[in-house]
Chains A and B, each alone.
Chain A
Amino acid sequence: MPQPLNYLKETASQTAGPYVHIGLIPAMAGFDIFEKNFSNVLVTPDTQGDRITLEGKVLDGTGSPLRDVLLEIWQANAAGRYNHPADRSAGALDQDFRGWGRAGSDFDSGLVTFETIKPGAITDKSGRKCAPHVNVWIVARGINIGLNTRLYFSDEEAANAADPVLNLIEQQVRRKTLIATRSERAGKVVYSFTINLQGPDETVFFDV
């Protein structure tokens, strides 16, 4: 027998279940318990960058919206820098932007919204620019292990065309599943997205 490597095994995932709100967004479950709560608003008045709303739905295999889904997003700030010590790129940190938020879908419509800023382009380890994007993590009843995907921006056509991750997607037609569509509503910039869990337009999910 060779020496054992003795790595531990990752703990197995289990579904977040239908009552995930109790733990992660108690106000949605119908009660108030913590002094401080996490939310879908990533910005404070002092955050730098262009305010945007991300708005979308997650659809099941019949095209029906999930009404008990929970999304988290993780993104760089307006300068393209993540608020984390492992990001050693040159962009300035913004102390008023953690870059993370969570949202539950509306129990009736299934709509999910985030109030955030548009992230800057990110510089990867080799110095390449990556198109601005938001990392998305999806959990719900019936989802056995959290799903990872990304949202890119429809008004970043040139950057998207050169993005190393979008270009990994072999079928060009599937790349559009990651593009959120820009519109303006009452002077506010809204990016709309649809995440399809199944079907011909199934969203590209990543094994990260």
Chain B
Amino acid sequence: MNAQAPASRDTRLNRPEPFTPPLGDGGFFRRDRSIHPPAHAPGYKSSVLRSPRQSLLSLENSVSEITGPVFGHNDLGPLDNDLIRNYAKDGDPVGERIIVHGRVLDETGRGVPNTLVEFWQANAGGRYRHKKDTYLAPIDPNFGGCGRALTDDTGYYYFRTVKPGPYPWRNYVNSWRPAHIHFSVFGSGFAQRLITQMYFEGDPLIPICPILTTIPDKDALDRLVAPLDLNASTPFDSLAYRFDIVLRGQRSTYFENRTAGN
């Protein structure tokens, strides 16, 4: 027998494991709810009856929260990130052609690789291809209004579409949504799951939107507004907007498994 105790078992100090790096347990950073809209936001009337009133129960992240579904290129089709072509029947959809691109990052600034990003929107007239949408603006026969992409190794994603129009909705009698694109993002763990909306720089409806103004933090609201990115535009073809999305940071498990948290 080797008389020397293994390094991981210093029985004198009753310390069975070596001191591990900080940020090493794989859980996510606590969500800062002060930058998110509260569940109950009376100015957005639909939230009143659909908002929990009890405190959320804080849950230390377990394997159920730090894991989440894994997607791959097999889940997607070749036209999924091209909304100009993925529903075209006899021509291109009507509207301003735009490219939307950006990175999915986490709060540490690292790109989130190979994660699924889904997006949906109204057409250029502000009408959704949805059987429950009855707005008088016409359906565009060549526009579906949805797509998806997988981020690359650096967290980068991009897609092509037409700029959505604003539209009226029933909140106050004369409420209008600013032009926006809905985003759904996964991240590496189910606790990072996020749905949000991207808005366009300069839209005068932004400061008076009852949904946008549920966000209590001015900077957080500004981060939902995509700037025009002329450098990424295609001359004589499409303007471009840049939209980065930040998911919760992770107390990385990189010493044991790089894929889990980087």
Contact = CB atoms under 8 A, between A and B. Distances in A.
Interface string B58-84: 110111111111100011110010000
11 contacts: A8-B106, A17-B182, A22-B120, A23-B148, A24-B120, A30-B131, A125-B63, A146-B193, A206-B58, A206-B59, A207-B31
A207 B32 contact: no
Contacts of B48: 61, 142
Given A10-B248, A19-B128, A34-B77, A144 B56 contact: no
Contacts of B61: 208
A197 B190 contact: no
A135 B59 CA distance: 13
A90 interface: no
B191 A144 contact: no
A106 interface: no
Contact of B62 (A84, A130, A141): A130
B233 interface: no
Nearest to B76: A36
Interface string B36-52: 11110100101111111
A9 B223 contact: yes
Interface in A134-153: 135, 137, 139-148, 150
Interface stretch (B1-9, B200-208, B210-218, B234-242): B210-218
Interface residues of B, number: 94
Contacts of A157: none
B129 A30 contact: yes
A142 B193 contact: no
A133 interface: yes
B21 to A, nearest CB: 16
Interface of B: 25-26, 28-29, 31-33, 35-39, 41, 44, 46-54, 56-59, 61-70, 74-77, 80, 86-87, 105-109, 118-120, 128-133, 144-146, 148, 182, 184, 188-191, 193-197, 211-212, 214-215, 217, 219-221, 223-224, 245-249, 253, 256-257, 259-261
Contacts of A208: 28, 59, 61, 65, 190-191
A10 B32 contact: yes
Interface residues of A, number: 79
A62, A87, A150 interface centre (most CB from chain B within 10 Å): A87
A10, A168, A202 interface centre (most CB from chain B within 10 Å): A10
B57 A62 contact: no
A164 to B, nearest CB: 8
Interface in A92-147: 98-100, 107, 122-125, 130, 133, 135, 137, 139-147
Given A86-B261, A135-B64, A137-B193, A29 B219 contact: no
A82 to B, nearest CB: 4
Contact of B58 (A36, A123, A150, A207): A207
SS class, residues of chain A in contact with chain B = loop
Interface of A: 6-24, 26, 29-31, 33-36, 38, 60-62, 66, 68, 72, 74, 76, 82-89, 98-100, 107, 122-125, 130, 133, 135, 137, 139-148, 150, 165, 168-169, 197-198, 202-208
A122 B32 CA distance: 28
A38 to B, nearest CB: 8
A86 B196 contact: no
Given A22-B146, A135-B64, 19 more contacts: A7-B108, A9-B223, A11-B196, A19-B128, A22-B144, A23-B184, A34-B77, A34-B148, A74-B190, A83-B69, A86-B26, A86-B253, A141-B50, A142-B47, A143-B47, A145-B33, A197-B49, A202-B54, A205-B52
